[in-house]
A and B are shown apart, each in its own frame.
Chain A
Amino acid sequence: MRRQSGQTLIMFAITMTFMFLSLVALVGDAVTLMVRYNQVNSEALLAAQAGATAVDEDAFYQGQHRLDMNLAESNCYGTKLLGGTRQTHWVESCAPVAGAPDTITATVRWDVSLPIPLFFPQATVRSTRTGRAVFGGQQAVP
């Protein structure tokens, strides 16, 4: 029978190495994703707020509260983003909310390259936020 002394030690060493590496990857990647999500969330809020500044003036003077959607989407898509590239970090969508013409929803997406790509090289973080126009009153002031 072949000698088996030390076999458990080798198995243990291999298993523990893999477990430690996995733990480091998990923590490193989770922290990166948490930070990136926070940034994407802030950008989505600012994009929605930028879109919500585009009040439709003609409609307003006719007593309707709604956004000029073309301008709102243009403002929303024009939000400046920090980090990544245009291919990996972008305003994914700016769209009106059904039944609420004074409201716009922005979604920002970032395909994040993970710092320790043990299991996955990349993960996507995405945040959707909604902004509503402020009219300051119920009637247009002449």
Chain B
Amino acid sequence: MRQDGQALIETAVTLPVLIALFFGFLGAGVGAQAYVDLNTAVYLAAASSVTSYSDEMALSKQYAQDTFDATVRHDSIIQRAQLTCSNNPADYAAGATVTCQGSASIAFSQTPLSIIFGDVPIGASASATRSPYRSRRP
């Protein structure tokens, strides 16, 4: 029985599957890391927000935004990152709870993983409570 080229054909069939599997696992790992980074950035933003003076919505949001930006910029695969914190001024009073939501895209299109993945939208949310003794701006 002729077996010339059999190994070549078997390799040609299995190699794409193995490559797809490899890139799939790599993509899953990269995606998970991006999500963890976004979640951490939103958590830190919410925690940072409640350290500002009480009843200062703009300042609290600025604290949150600065923290968020400084955290996500370290991960280049996270693109179009946006942070939104509560718009209700009462949430910025002493003892109140602020909720922040972050969204972003995992930019697989800028990596070799684009042969398998497109850009994937992700989101995260966190709530933090301001101390009831947080003072107002002097």
Contact = CB atoms under 8 A, between A and B. Distances in A.
A42 B130 contact: no
B39 A79 contact: no
Interface stretch (B58-66, B77-85, B110-118, B120-128): B120-128
A78 B131 CA distance: 15
Interface stretch (A46-54, A97-105, A120-128): A46-54
Contacts of A31: 28-29, 31-32
A50 B28 contact: no
Interface string A23-59: 1100110010011001100110110011001110000
B14 to A, nearest CB: 9
A102 B30 CA distance: 40
Interface string B25-52: 1001101100110011001001100000
Contacts of A20: 21
Nearest to B17: A20
B43 A45 contact: yes
Nearest to B99: A80
B35 A134 contact: no
B127 A46 contact: yes
Nearest to B30: A31
A1 interface: no
B91 to A, nearest CB: 11
B103 to A, nearest CB: 12
Residue of A23, A24, A31, A75 ringed by the most chain B CB atoms within 10 A: A31
Given A39-B124, A46-B47, A53-B132, A78 B97 contact: yes
Given A31-B31, A39-B124, A75 B36 contact: no
Contacts of A50: 97, 127-129
A10 interface: no
Given A35-B36, A46-B126, 6 more contacts: A27-B28, A34-B36, A38-B36, A39-B124, A49-B47, A53-B132
7 contacts: A35-B39, A42-B40, A46-B46, A46-B126, A49-B128, A55-B133, A134-B131
Of all A-B residue pairs in the complex, the 10 with the closest CB atoms, nearest first, are A50-B129, A42-B43, A80-B127, A82-B125, A31-B32, A53-B131, A38-B36, A31-B28, A27-B25, A35-B35
